[in-house]
Amino acid sequence: MKAIVVKAPGGLDRLEIRDLADPGQPGAGEIRVALHATSLNFHDLLVANGSIPTADGRVPMADGAGVVEAVGAGVTEFQPGDHVVSCFFPQWPAGPAFDAVGSFAGTPGDGIDGYAAQYAVRPASAFTRAPRGWSHAEAATITTAGLTAWRALVGDAQLKAGDVVLTLGTGGVSIMALQIAKAMGAQVIVTSSSDEKLDRARALGADHGINYRQRADWGKAVRELTGGHGVDHVIEPGGPGTLAQSIHAVRVGGHISLIGVLTGRQGEVPTSMLMARQARLQGLIVGSRRQQQEYVAALEQTGVRPVIDRSFALEQLAEAFRFQEGGNHFGKIVAEW
Ligand SMILES: NC(=O)c1ccc[n+]([C@@H]2O[C@H](COP(=O)([O-])OP(=O)(O)OC[C@H]3O[C@@H](n4cnc5c(N)ncnc54)[C@H](OP(=O)(O)O)[C@@H]3O)[C@@H](O)[C@H]2O)c1
């Protein structure tokens, strides 16, 4: 079967198309999936470009969507023909995070082979059903970016109608967070480096937009927009370069979902302001399979569909990552085959 592999030590010019052995028929408890789409995440980029070291010949990509071709003995949840989407942590069925999800050792496309391939045979628990009527490309956005936004807002932050949410930037996680928050009756403030992207966010329902290049003190701008009160929840994909402003922007007793490393991996945190805000700072990595099932159900009920900026062929994966690095995208980038 055709697959993309990362040749050690990584690098976008070291992604290679290979003909790998077909994974064969599923054993007991397994399913065979004909994969048709993946979506690109920052984590996949770090594996592909060698920033996160991985095994030589690793098949990248955590997100995979396709059709069940065969089920092994004892599998009752799926049937051939079902449309499915992969789980970021196949070993996390439900409940709070635990030791095994404190690293990427069991994550497809990092510790184990991912889904930039024609077929996969995995335990049935490595997939969930995809939303009815969705394309494979749309479904592929669920695994990482979509589920992270869902878990942050609904799992950790306990979002409710009337809340005010701040999302930073217009990448995959933040745009899905905007859409979920609007579907659930929240008010949403979006930041971006681009006025044009802010207009697109408003077209998706954002109530306010702030250009963070023009307003370095965007946390203050958020407070002004909320009558000095601050927001209930912050979706924080930036990390050290944005956290101080996010703490400024959050209300007393509010919640910050610390999701990303877009501005780096360590830095200074104004701890006294965080304390004075009496805010909860919650680190998170994606979510459980149960949360993915709940997210799929919510997507079907609300009718929310992901925003796909651009689709590439699987063979163009390196080009797709370069497009992602350029930072001009809005929402998700996918590869299809
Ligand atoms: N913890 C988790 O479970 C989890 C899951 C998924 C992703 N992540 C992390 O979350 C981050 C975002 O992931 P993604 O997939 O959404 O990435 P992405 O689609 O590549 O989004 C990048 C966007 O972030 C915005 N951005 C960049 N620098 C910024 C800054 N200084 N302030 C505000 N916004 C900034 C930009 O938006 P504008 O162009 O509008 O300025 C950019 O387009 C990454 O660090 C990723 O590793 C974590």
Instruction: Answer whether residue 300 is part of any domain.
Output: no
18 CA from centroid of ligand 1 (Å) = 30
- Same-domain status, 137 and 150: no
* Cis preceding-peptide flag for 9 (omega within 30 of 0): yes
- Among 287, 298, 335, residue whose Cα is nearest residue 131: 298
Instruction: Answer whether residue 272 is part of any domain.
Output: yes
- Same-domain status, 167 and 49: no
Instruction: Answer whether residue 288 is part of any domain.
Output: no
d(CA 205, CA 155): 22
- Same-domain status, 44 and 128: yes
Name residue 334's beta-bridge partners. Answer: 39, 311
Q: What is the DSSP string of 40-90?
A: --HHHHHHHTTSS---TTB---S--EEEEEEE-TT--S--TT-EEEE-S-T
**Digit-coded pLDDT (tens) for 72-110:** 999 999 999 999 999 999 999 999 999 999 999 999 999
Task: Identify the burial level of 130 via C-beta atoms within 10 angstroms of its C-beta, where 0-12 means exposed, 13-18 middle and 19 or more buried.
Answer: buried
Number of domains, the chain: 2
For residue 10, the model assigns a pLDDT of 95
198 lines ligand 1 (CB under 6 A): no
Report residue 252 as tokens. 């007393």
CB atoms within 10 A of CB 86: 30
**Atom 22, ligand 1: residue with shortest CA distance:** 171
**Digit-coded pLDDT (tens) for 140-176:** 999 999 999 999 999 999 999 999 999 999 999 999 9
In 3-state terms, what secondary structure has residue 223?
helix
- Same-domain status, 67 and 84: yes
**Digit-coded pLDDT (tens) for 27-51:** 999 999 999 999 999 999 999 999 9
For residue 319, the model assigns a pLDDT of 98
212 lines ligand 1 (CB under 6 A): yes
d(CA 78, CA 84): 9
Question: Residue range 271-290: average pLDDT?
Answer: 98
d(CA 212, CA 192): 6
**Digit-coded pLDDT (tens) for 180-201:** 999 999 999 999 999 999 999 9
Residue 165: its H or E element: strand 164-168
**Digit-coded pLDDT (tens) for 216-255:** 999 999 999 999 999 999 999 999 999 999 999 999 999 9
239 CA from centroid of ligand 1 (Å) = 10
Percent above pLDDT 90 for the chain: 100
CATH number, domain containing residue 274: 3.40.50.720
268 CA from centroid of ligand 1 (Å) = 19
Instruction: Answer whether residue 294 is part of any domain.
Output: no
Instruction: Answer whether residue 298 is part of any domain.
Output: no
- Same-domain status, 128 and 169: no
10 lines ligand 1 (CB under 6 A): no
Cβ contact 42:261 at 8 Å: yes
Percent above pLDDT 70 for the chain: 100
Instruction: Answer whether residue 290 is part of any domain.
Output: no
Range of the domain at 230: 146-283
For residue 335, the model assigns a pLDDT of 98
Cβ contact 81:69 at 8 Å: no
- Same-domain status, 152 and 131: no
262 CA from centroid of ligand 1 (Å) = 6
**Digit-coded pLDDT (tens) for 57-73:** 999 999 999 999 999 99
Cβ contact 109:118 at 8 Å: no
d(CA 193, CA 211): 5
Instruction: Answer whether residue 289 is part of any domain.
Output: no
- Same-domain status, 190 and 234: yes
In 3-state terms, what secondary structure has residue 193?
coil
For residue 175, the model assigns a pLDDT of 98
Which of 41, 110, 178 to probe ligand 1 with, by most ligand atoms within 8 A of CB? 41
Cβ contact 252:279 at 8 Å: yes
56 CA from centroid of ligand 1 (Å) = 27
CATH number, domain containing residue 98: 3.90.180.10
- Same-domain status, 203 and 134: no
- Same-domain status, 278 and 218: yes
Instruction: Answer whether residue 159 is part of any domain.
Output: yes
- Same-domain status, 193 and 100: no
- Same-domain status, 159 and 133: no
For residue 172, the model assigns a pLDDT of 97
SS percent in the chain: helix, strand, coil, step 5: 30, 25, 40
- Same-domain status, 268 and 203: yes
Mean pLDDT score of the chain: 98
